[in-house]
Amino acid sequence: MSQTPLESSAPAPKTAEDAFTANYWRLNRMIEEGKSWSGYERNCCFLNTGNGRFANISATSGFDFLDDARGLALTDWDHDGDLDLWITNRTAPRVRVMRNDTSSGHHFLAVHLQGSTCNRDAIGARAELTIEGEDGGWKLIKTVRAGEGFLAQSSKWLHFGLGDASRCLQLTVRWPDGTTEQFTDLDVDARYGIVQGTGTAKVWTLPPRELKLASSQPTLLAVTLQAATALPVPLPLPLLEYASFDGEPGTLNGRRDKPLLVNLWASWCLPCARELAEFSRRSDELRAAGLDVLALSVDGLGENQSTTPQDAQKFLEKLNFPFVSGAATAGLWNKVQIVHDQLFAMRRPLPVPTGLLIDTQGRLVAIYKGQVEVERLLADVAQLSSDLDAWRAAAFPFEGLWHDFPEARLMPLVTNLFDRNYTNEAIQYALQNRSSLAGDSRFPSVLSDFGREMAQRGDRDAAVELFREALVANPDDSETHNNLGVQLGLQGQLDKAIEHLRRAVQLEPDNAEVHINLADALRFSGQLDESGKHVRRALEIQPDMVAAHQKLAILLTAQGRPEEAIVHLRRAAELSPDDAALHNALGELLSRAQSWVPAIEAFTEALRIKPDFAEAHVSLANVSARTGQYQQAVEHYVAALESDPRRINAARRLAWILAAADDPQVRDGAQAVRWAEQAANLTEHKNPYDLDMLAAAYAEAGRWDEAVTTASYAIRLATAAGHVALSGQIEARLLLYQRQKPFTVPPAQ
């Protein structure tokens, strides 16, 4: 089976299923865009010549229409013994009936099968007819099928063309359940009904009726550059904004005193110029009919960049246009196209001019593509004052009976806006039309999808509102309760978060993720024991759940059970070996337990996975310093600060090592000053600890006066803050600086 090429910009599908899905939607877009699957080739017809070959009789048969044909059904529609054809097309005419009026003098036999111990329609039954021929018996085979070709179902009558054979020797029927029956003495040019198990073939006679099939030549509508479509059901519009030529914002939405015609036009468009001139000339009639007109220029939008809104403004001024005008935005034009594509099967770019007739409630009631006649406008405006039934009847070009009254299809518009990245407009539209959308089974899930989108954007207030709206539409949706609970927890509303998460657990007790989220909320609210129960329940449901092992490790650490916490965090790292943060967290737990070697291994693995992981560099530097590996500590502190210069604690520890380490090969006064000044600057020289560190760095660099001055100031700050012990320590170091001696101490102390 051939496949339609994918969009060139689309990523290559990973699986055959992905490729099929992508091609399926591509084919649908081709249909919506009015493209031909047949490549505008004529229909073909082939004749079986009986010798294993076929002859192309497309032209001589009369079947070679230039239609984009699809379905083909065969039936003896007029019961004259030969098969007629029904053909459906994607293009006009949508249906053709081809009556077979050939006069060959050949014979036929038609059989209708009815099952008793198999399916009643005898689908799958096989009929073998042996007819008399010049070389003995000829066998013809037919099978009862449930469908043939593309979306087609031929008659269930089995029609045998006998040619000039005048005798049927035997008919063998093999029923779908495996039973077989044989029938003889069947006449040609006759129709028989056979019921399974009866052993008889009964002649079927056509009931009396008068059938008139008059041949006709389909007349296709002439191609026109004008189309006016009144909507049988008014459609609420999404947010559509424009600007006046002076830059003042405006909107097409909301209620108004009069109907409004929005005319989308361009200064380079000749039909637009004629239409606007006609509106100007007949402005009194339009106003008398109670119609307002808003002309919005699309100059500068789309591919045609040859003109600007200023060109449009000059044109209107020259015309003395008597109505309000302005410039459409790209968003307005795109959203009008989305509305159009929902309403029409053929999704083609809107032309200019395009007119939108909007009623007093802000709903779209008609679309005019191409230049619209003022008479049509006046008639539509007059019809707006009638009731909905009268408007609906007038909207159709023919009379008929309603099986069911149509309703505005709002949900596709919501989803199309969302898919085209008009997320805010989609959300606003859904909420404004919630009463109409409430009956759509997709509405709660769509609101929930919107909530997740806003949560990903970091707009928690909007996410919470949307999740609550979704719960109004479907109060028993576990996923929405879970999502709402998570967002409320992030807002610090723990009691409400726990309430919704408990409900999610009730609705879906075997969902491990929901148990984990509830456990988090309980832990943050101080309910550690109950939190642990839900984490362990998550592990019962999903023993290899990384998040559950990680959360349990956090909980056990808070409960003072580090050995058990290490076991679970190590398991989490085993299950997710490429998660640098997990390896770093494991290293932190191991370092707290003073398991230095495995801690260093964990930090090293984190950095192997993510070399610029600043937090892991700091953690490894801390452990290195504690174990006397000062040079390694310096290297990792520097690496951390290169990745994230805002890490003030890393700068402090690095400065102390460089200023006061007991290994002279590690100390570096100039670098110590660099990092100490960076830390002191971040605290605006108001932190006595940072100034103590800076004084030590100055001393190591031999800048004794600065060391003394800085240490003295640090003593005053420490004393003022009540840090008596710190003040005494700095005084002791000040004595060293005054004697021009640096302060040296093992950093681990």
The DSSP result for 572-601, as a single string, is HHHHSTT-HHHHHHHHHHHHHTT-HHHHHH
Phi and psi dihedrals of 127, rounded to 5? -110, 125
E strand residue ranges, 54-133:
54-56, 69-75, 84-89, 95-98, 107-114, 126-133
What pLDDT is recorded for position 347? 86
CA atoms within 13 A on the CB side of 529: 0
Tokens found for residue 137? 């018996």
Q: Token pair 């007119």 is at which residue? A: 355
Q: Fill in the amino acid letter for 284.
A: D
CA–CA gap between residue 599 and residue 620 (Å, rounded): 8
H or E element in which residue 377 lies: helix 374-384
Phi and psi dihedrals of 626, rounded to 5? -65, -30
pTM reported for the whole predicted model:
0.72
Structure confidence by residue, pLDDT tens digits, 400-426: 887 887 888 899 999 999 999 999 999
Per DSSP, what are the bridge partners of residue 327? 243, 297
Percent of the chain with pLDDT over 90: 78
Structure confidence by residue, pLDDT tens digits, 599-640: 999 999 999 999 999 999 999 999 999 998 999 999 999 999
Q: Fill in the amino acid letter for 205.
A: T
CA–CA gap between residue 739 and residue 495 (Å, rounded): 62
Tokens found for residue 277? 């001139």
Give the Cβ contact number of residue 30 at 10 Å.
Answer: 13
Give the Cβ contact number of residue 713 at 10 Å.
Answer: 16
* 325-361: burial string, b at 16+ Cβ within 10 Å, e else: bbbbbeebbbbbbbbbbbbeeebeebbbbbbbbbbee
DSSP string, 215-280: -----PPPP-S-EEEEEEEEEE----EEE-TTS-EEES-S--SS-EEEEEE-TT-HHHHHHHHHHH
**CB-based contacts of 17, cutoff 8 Å, min separation 6:** none
DSSP string, 336-375: HHHHHHHH-SS--PPPSSEEEEE-TTSEEEEEEESPPPHH
Residue 110's nearest CA partner among 54, 160, 177, 58 is 160
CA atoms within 13 A on the CB side of 652: 14
In the chain, which stretches have pLDDT less than 50? 1-9, 747-749
For 88, the 3-state DSSP assignment is strand
Q: Cα angle vertex 695, ends 689, 698, to 5°? A: 145
Tokens found for residue 731? 């005084």
* 92-129: burial string, b at 16+ Cβ within 10 Å, e else: eeeebebeeeeeeeebbbbbbbbbeebbeebbbbbbeb
For 204, the 3-state DSSP assignment is coil
What pLDDT is recorded for position 11? 61
Q: Token pair 């909507």 is at which residue? A: 231
CA torsion through residues 305, 309, 314, 320, sign: positive
**Which DSSP category does 44 fall into?**
-
User: Is the separation of the CB atoms in 138 and 165 below 8 Å?
Assistant: yes
